[in-house]
Structure 1
Amino acid sequence: MLLKLYEENPNMKAIQQIVDVLKRGGLIIYPTDTVYGLGCDIRNHRAIERVCELRGLKPEKANLSFVCYDLTDIAQYTKSFDTATFRVLKKALPGPFTFIFNASGQVPKLLSNKKRTVGIRVPDNNIAREIVHQLANPIVSASIHDEDEIVEYSTDPELIHEKYGDLVDIVIDGGYGGNIASTIVDVTSGDFEIMREGKGDLGLFL
């Protein structure tokens, strides 16, 4: 199903339809403030396995991120961090960043990797955040990649639907997506270490 939503004022009936699909273990492709993402309910192990299968990943080795609604969600899935880190997060989020934290015991065992870390996102996109808010827990997410050698990420939701429509339950058309991924920042050591330069400029918030 291809479902049209507008970021400025997402239709709440459609949002609830998406949430119901996620609760039943369904997969969605949805817009963020960077690239389109493939996601499922963090509490559904079979759905997480399906996401990994689609991306050709092993769950225990997959670097999947958790899309959260706000800093309250982040605190649940990460080990405690200092006040200085919190201040930067409060300024930078919602925004185009993936922050790597030390994982708490709340992270599903299926996704536990040897480093015990977790990537957290709070995208500046009302569709993504409203879905997570109504679901009441994070979405496990992976970026939608394009097979084009020049364009790394798929940006046209109609083309994404043509390719993935039979593999997922809902493709959300939130308009053209970006083709620059989030900036990945490792904060596990207490410092802010840029692991991948992307759309976000962390220097604006330090």
Structure 2
Amino acid sequence: MARYLEVHPHDPQPRAVAQVVDILRAGGVIAYPTDSCYALGTTMGSHDGPERIRRLRHLDDRHHFTLVCADFAQLGHLVHLDNSAFRAIKAATPGPYTFVLPATPEVPRRLSHPKKRSVGVRIPDHPVAVAIVRELGEPLLSSSLLMPGHEWPMTEGWQIKEELDHDLDAVVDAGDCGTTPTTVVDWTSGAPEVVREGAGDPSRFE
């Protein structure tokens, strides 16, 4: 059964955040709030966490996870940024954007695109998500909590707990955080290309 933790959306309790991080460090999979919608998360080094998320969402091996970062310094260790990408992305973060960029050697090969050697990264504008990643001390391997056959992600922590109780190790409930996933911007060609319009204003990258 999943541990159910109610966390204040703007001022997350350190004790609750520490409990979530303990579950992650033990290899667990959690549902947690972001600035776009609820997401599934596990650590980059988790042995079976990524496969559990793929199974839960009926995703194949070609699905690429997003690495959720606490700040720009953490993001900068994971991807290569030229000056124009650096300025534009720094101006848009934190926020509901995912950026696909060339990965650095810090990113395990199994987590990057096999041909492009790219990875998706983001810095959410949600105090709970940032507190979890900061306490963890490393990026969180993440995927939107959009279940097979559902048009929209689940928005209530209690509903996630009820429906996925035996599939998750923890549900972090900080209230409704919306149903619109991030706007995805692919920067692997050296110029921004909006490949999915979502919660973030895409016009700044068009």
Give the aligned partner of residue 161 of structure 1.
161
CA-atom RMSD, angstroms? 1.7
- Normalised by the length of structure 2, the TM-score is 0.92
Partner-residue secondary structure (3-state), 1:48: helix
**TM-aligned CA deviation for residue 147 of structure 1:** 5.2
Give the aligned partner of residue 197 of structure 2.
197
Q: Distance in 2 between matches of 1:197 and 1:204?
A: 12
Residue deviations 1:65-86 (CA, integer Å, cap 9, x gap): 011011111111112x222211
Give the aligned partner of residue 26 of structure 1.
28
**TM-aligned CA deviation for residue 105 of structure 1:** 1.7
Residue deviations 1:21-61 (CA, integer Å, cap 9, x gap): 100101110000011000001122322222222222344x1
Letter in 2 for 1:122: I
Q: Distance in 1 between matches of 2:124 and 2:178?
A: 13
Letter in 2 for 1:74: L
Give the aligned partner of residue 136 of structure 1.
137
Q: Distance in 2 between matches of 1:157 and 1:17?
A: 17
Q: In 2 relative to 1, CA 111–204 (structure 1 residues): closer, same or farther, beyond 3 Å?
A: closer
Give the aligned partner of residue 12 of structure 2.
10
Letter in 2 for 1:143: S
Letter in 2 for 1:30: Y
Q: Tell me if the contact between 2:33 and 2:128 (Cα under 8 Å) persists in the aligned partners.
A: yes
Partner-residue secondary structure (3-state), 1:45: coil
Q: Distance in 2 between matches of 1:120 and 1:69?
A: 11
Q: Distance in 2 between matches of 1:7 and 1:17?
A: 16
Partner-residue secondary structure (3-state), 1:9: coil
Q: Tell me if the contact between 1:92 and 1:202 (Cα under 8 Å) persists in the aligned partners.
A: no
Give the aligned partner of residue 126 of structure 2.
125
Q: Distance in 2 between matches of 1:57 and 1:8?
A: 32
Letter in 1 for 2:25: K
Q: Distance in 2 between matches of 1:168 and 1:110?
A: 23
Aligned residues: 203
**TM-aligned CA deviation for residue 204 of structure 1:** 4.5
Q: Distance in 2 between matches of 1:111 and 1:125?
A: 24
- Normalised by the length of structure 1, the TM-score is 0.92
Give the aligned partner of residue 171 of structure 2.
171
Q: Tell me if the contact between 2:27 and 2:46 (Cα under 8 Å) persists in the aligned partners.
A: yes
Q: Distance in 2 between matches of 1:157 and 1:130?
A: 18
Structure 1 gap segments, 5+ residues each: none
Partner-residue secondary structure (3-state), 2:113: coil
